[in-house]
Chains A and B, each alone.
Chain A
Amino acid sequence: MEWFKKSKSGIVFQPKKEINDDLWLKCDSCKEIIYRKEVEKILWICPNCSWHFQINSEIYRAILIDQDSFKEIDRDMGSNDILKFKDKKGYADRIIEHQKKSGLMDAVVTGLGTMEKRPVAIGVMDFRYMGGSMGSVVGEKVTRLVRRATAEQLPLIIISSSGGARMQEGALSLMQMAKTSAALALHAEKKLPYISVLTHPTTGGTTASFAMLGDVHIAEPGALIGFAGPRVIRETIRQELPKGFQRAEFVLEHGFIDVICDRRNLKNLLVTLLNHFMGSKIPGQIEKSDDLFIDAQGNLKKKYQASKAG
């Protein structure tokens, strides 16, 4: 909590009305009934058992990014029902329904901002939108974010929370795993740091692509992290799963997570790591112009320059 007091950014903390509207709420983990304001005050952590409630992308941004420094990119990108997919309900209808319900265009918000004045490229997944599933939009936005970070020589942070690849886009969802991983390969070649933060839950194609490709992997306490979901595993092997299976602590013990970090220390930890990777000297301003594109060589260009040159 120390960073919180020290920070000059003066965080305005206004979570969306999503958990419920009452004064009291029930902890998902210890089932204790707790005073909502208490939980809110300590960044949606249960004061009784330290369970980290799922929080949305706006709250993460408020916690991590310096006030007024966030510049969202690809804000209006939305999903396309290219397969005309229909199960119990049509995918096209589901898209609209989720957009209305969540106020989001899709399951990730991406952009540039500063953390303790240090410029970063950051993507935050949002579980409210179709369980944070990765379809073409999540893949495309993450890929563009990584390419932007590569072109601008920025460190990259992605906060994941996802049920995996989105079934309604079939093989195209699967290909987003290859696409985001390819972009990360080029980001890594430029010796730029990528820190992956895995929150509850991160499973399936998201874990099996960008969430597991960080230089450092940070998890929130108790987060479910895995490839196959526990239900699928239980049904396949027909035996009970060990206690704590696929929880952050279990995953750390098996060597796939570097640090489990309390949400109150997350910004502090990220800034400390970035200082180790890039030195404590803060680089220049980030390019905030809308008039940008990335050329075939991966360089960031202003559009008017290109049109003059071409």
Chain B
Amino acid sequence: MEPVEKTPVAMLEFEHPIVELERKIQDMRHFTSTENIEFKEEIKRLEKKLEKLKEEIYSQITPWNRVQIARHPKRPYTLDYINGIITDWVELHGDRAFADDAAMVAGMGKLNGKSVAIVGQQKGRDVKENIKRNFGMPNPEGYRKALRIFKMAEKFGLPVICFIDTIGAFPGIGAEERGQAEAIARNLREMAVLQVPILIVIVGEGASGGALGIGVGDRVLMCENSWYCVISPEGCAAILWSDRAKAAQCAEVMHLTAADLIKLGVVDDIIPEPQGGAHRDPKAMIDTVKEYIVREMQALLKVPIKELVDRRIEKYYAMGSVVE
């Protein structure tokens, strides 16, 4: 729901010492091979130091650090996963009512040789692409395009995979005029009873109804450094502290990490990321996500659809915590 302040830098502040040391080691290696100067001992020493440093920094990673990792511009986005995992991909456009929303990608492709329908929010990597993609914040037509694909998947018996990566549905005049709330609400209702398996993967950011609008499913997986909550840390800070700068503080109390959400029963499994986050080895991340998706989908396809939908509804009925 919140606008991105600016494109974040390619290096996160907390990983700065690691990246610096890595550079130093690389330089020494370069010298060793080109100038014939022996740095072997020194390189060995620094590599040991690097390992220790990584252990130290990554073991103390805070929820806010994870939010930063989830926003890293080199982190794989929805289309990176589709390109790396899916074959015979055909992207489909438009909600058949108003427009095509580039913040929401939709289409069909094959996962391990079997056809599936895929929907996901898509961010841009540079300013130009981000303007086209509206920073991954869909308008109502994005949610209606998604619904069109869900219903088509149901018609042809194709399982659905949704990739979530958004700081929220776009808060704009046109979005309100065209019924952002209605578009999201309708998706929630239709996804709850859709007669095909639905697998949700939260790959980056997941805030508010903008994320949930394509996020109701049989299994919800979350990448280790992604986050998911009722509002972005900035939005929470603006409302509760009247100060967006308190976002880091907010992230600490919102219970938005994968580990938190497993405990709350909102998420079913965590997909591990390469050390330091997906941006440090995107290829490895995409392979891991594929492995998880294939395994989960095989399991879902074994369950009779009626039973699957009943279980899906029961799962959501059980969510929440009250005192009686």
Contact = CB atoms under 8 A, between A and B. Distances in A.
Given A167-B240, A170-B229, A227-B181, A181 B192 contact: yes
B185 interface: yes
Interface of B: 1-3, 169-173, 175-182, 184-186, 188-193, 208-209, 212-213, 215-216, 228-231, 235-236, 239-241, 253-256, 260-261, 264, 266, 312-313, 316-317, 319-324
A233 B230 contact: no
A15 B172 CA distance: 38
A129 B228 CA distance: 26
A170 B260 CA distance: 10
A175 B319 contact: yes
Given A165-B230, A172-B320, A185-B193, A205 B173 contact: no
B230 A174 contact: yes
A140 B322 CA distance: 8
A227 B209 contact: yes
Interface string A240-276: 0110011000000011100000000000000000000
A213 B185 contact: yes
Given A175-B266, A207-B181, A228-B1, A170 B256 contact: yes
Given A181-B188, A209-B188, A226-B181, A171 B320 contact: no
Contacts of A242: 173
Given A80-B323, A185-B192, A210-B185, A173 B230 contact: yes
A257 to B, nearest CB: 10
A184 to B, nearest CB: 6
Contacts of B213: 208
A136 B236 CA distance: 18
Contact of B313 (A88, A174, A182, A236): A182
Contacts of B264: 82, 170-172
Contact of B209 (A166, A205, A237): A205
A228 B175 contact: yes
B305 to A, nearest CB: 15
B177 A254 contact: yes
A80 B264 CA distance: 13
Given A78-B323, A213-B189, A236-B170, 16 more contacts: A74-B324, A88-B241, A165-B209, A167-B231, A170-B254, A172-B321, A178-B319, A182-B216, A208-B184, A208-B188, A212-B181, A212-B185, A227-B209, A228-B172, A232-B235, A236-B2
A87 B177 CA distance: 33
Nearest to A105: B323
B190 A185 contact: yes
A296 to B, nearest CB: 8
A79 interface: yes
Contacts of B322: 77-80, 136-137, 140
A210 B192 CA distance: 13
A143 interface: yes
Contacts of A172: 264, 266, 319-321
Interface in A135-169: 135-137, 139-140, 143, 165-167, 169
Interface in A62-105: 74, 76-80, 82-83, 85-88
